[in-house]
Amino acid sequence: MKNSKVLALKYRPSKLQELIGQEVIASTIYNSIKLNKIPNAFLFHGIRGVGKTSIARIIAKSLNCKNGIENLCENNLCENCEGITNSNHLDVIEQDCATATGIDSVRDLIEFCRYPPTSSKYKVLILDEIQAMSKAGAQSLLKILEEPPDYVKFIFCTTEIKKILVTMLSRCSRFDLSRIKYQELFEYLKNISKKENGNIDDEAIKLICKCSEGSVRDALSLLDRALLSSSPNNKLDLKSAQEIFGHFDKSLLVKLIEHISKGNVEESIRVYKLIYEKGVEPKVFLNEFLEILYYLKNISYIELEGTNFNLNDNEHKLIKELNENLSFSTILIYWQFTINTLSELNIVSNQHLTVEMFILRLIYLSNNEHMISNSKDKSYFSKGETSEVVEKKTNYNIINQLKNIDQKQENKPEVQTEENHNSIKSFQDLIELCALKKEFNLKYDLESNVRLVSFDKNLIEISFNENLDKNFIKILSAKLYEWTRERWIITLSKKEGQFTIKELKKKFKENITNDFAKSQEFKKIKQIFKDIKIKDLK
């Protein structure tokens, strides 16, 4: 029995009109070929599976089809179309630059361009993942790319446009392929499911659309798996699809957050273990947790329409109900703790334990919030407990007020009215003013990449490292004039200058670490744990 093709190959578009989600690009390319205004090189950029290579092959066929682009072969393929479809045409090269990156491969391509086509109108070079080509290889292509023979056309495909040389980009007609919209992808998959006699629920197809993230190839691969799990007597529903794709029910996460907010330890851990037993990785769990927090914050703006398959009806209802019982500040605190926990995952070998402790920390925070909010209720606390909470809260407020007074006194010279402008008397003043004005890129360069040689009134002399922004002096000069209404001179010195702020902090930390390593306390610890090492001090 002949093995049937996978759906991604079986339903691969063979002409521009069959492309989904890229109608404008398809129309532009069709007109350029029809009117014989064909660019020397096409460049297609987009995420995986949106049709970059498919469009490249269609262009190759459109340029060389014996019937012309208006009557492009569909069933009875001409000699050229058949050769291009089967990837064995003598005048069409399709090369993966991830495996052929060097200058020798490029020499072969240039040699291929020297001679006219054998059986077609154009020689076409389709170079996939062009960003993987070496710099030397890419540069050697530039000349022929700018002035190729009339019979040569280049087609480049890439998922990472920023890695391509600017000089190469300037020689290409660039097309950015967008992700396929949910509704369009849903209708497309539903139609294919009918053609394949699939028995799949609409909610399961919506889940496929969500998991594919706008990639047609990913969606068809998932649909392939779904079709194998369905039969005329067994309809594939949402629950079964979630198990097949390893995508757990979001309503479990909503229940988990509800139990956490109520301070219910046992139920919170129980629900998490249900999620964990479904094979969900801790990192995936935390990212899904963040997604639910986002929906909790914005649920009033999210409507259940055909174009939004991120939430099903039940999940939308549960999130809307929970949103009424959670404050905005609580959601923000949960978000921050989740972000912090993501960075902690690689520290502990058993990531599952990290997530359990994360849940317990959130419950602890929720309980403390309830205690403070109810501290005025005398029936909730005994007299001693109430006074203790109020006293702690009062002391905390006093400390904050003292900190604010200190900060105001320290920052007084820098924070002035617009009439008097800002006074900058030292390098540190300049860094603090950058922070105050939210010029964080400038602040980063001053702290990390600039070595101060001298600082005087309206005159700064510096040296720098190779990481400094090339527009740094231009930007700093403009900002200094904007802030002080005075002209500043910034000069580059051959002197080495002082350490950067970042280097000073690092040196300071190293000194503290070395001092601790020599201390009696650490020596006592070393006697118990022979192989202990100091990783960090906070």
Whole-angstrom distance, CA of residue 267 vs CA of residue 264:
6
Q: How far apart are the first and last CA of the chain?
A: 67
Q: Are 106 and 93 in contact (CB under 8 A)?
A: no
Q: Are 316 and 344 in contact (CB under 8 A)?
A: no
Q: Please, what sign has the CA dihedral across residues 413, 414, 415, 421?
A: positive
Residue 374 neighbours by CB under 8 Å, 6+ apart: 380, 381
Could you give all domains of the chain from N- to C-terminal order, each with its CATH number?
Answer: 7-176 (3.40.50.300), 182-245 (1.10.8.60), 251-373 (1.20.272.10), 427-498 (3.30.300)
Between 285 and 421, the higher pLDDT residue: 285
Whole-angstrom distance, CA of residue 253 vs CA of residue 275:
8
CA-CA distances (angstroms) from residue 18 to 21, 227, 524? 10, 23, 74
Are β-strands 459-464 and 450-456 bridged in parallel, bridged antiparallel, or unpaired? antiparallel
Whole-angstrom distance, CA of residue 210 vs CA of residue 219:
9
Question: How large a percentage of the chain has pLDDT more than 90?
Answer: 24
Residue 28: which pLDDT band, with cuts at 50, 70 and 90? very high
Q: Are 13 and 53 in contact (CB under 8 A)?
A: no
pLDDT tens, position by position, 383-406: 444 334 434 444 444 344 434 444
Beta bridge partners of 127: 95, 156
Lowest-confidence pick of 156-165, 444-453, 502-511: 502-511
> And the tokens for 493?
């010195």
> And the tokens for 19?
């492309």
Whole-angstrom distance, CA of residue 280 vs CA of residue 275:
7
Neighbours of 148 (CB within 10 A): 19
What pLDDT does 310 receive?
61
Residue 41: which pLDDT band, with cuts at 50, 70 and 90? very high
Burial class (CB in 10 A: 0-12, 13-18, 19+), 366: buried
Whole-angstrom distance, CA of residue 462 vs CA of residue 497:
7
pLDDT tens, position by position, 401-453: 434 444 444 444 444 444 445 778 888 888 888 888 888 888 888 888 888 88
Q: Are 249 and 84 in contact (CB under 8 A)?
A: no
> And the tokens for 485?
């209404």
Burial class (CB in 10 A: 0-12, 13-18, 19+), 60: buried
Q: Are 494 and 462 in contact (CB under 8 A)?
A: no
CA-CA distances (angstroms) from residue 275 to 240, 281, 283, 364, 366? 15, 9, 13, 21, 22
Residue 77: which pLDDT band, with cuts at 50, 70 and 90? confident
Residue 377 neighbours by CB under 8 Å, 6+ apart: none
CA-CA distances (angstroms) from residue 234 to 18, 59, 226, 315? 31, 42, 12, 25
Q: Are 61 and 73 in contact (CB under 8 A)?
A: yes
Q: Are 494 and 448 in contact (CB under 8 A)?
A: no
Q: Identify the three-state secondary structure at position 157.
A: strand
The arithmetic mean of pLDDT across residues 457-483, rounded, is 85
The arithmetic mean of pLDDT across residues 365-380, rounded, is 53
Nearest by Cα to 254 from 298, 300, 318, 207: 318
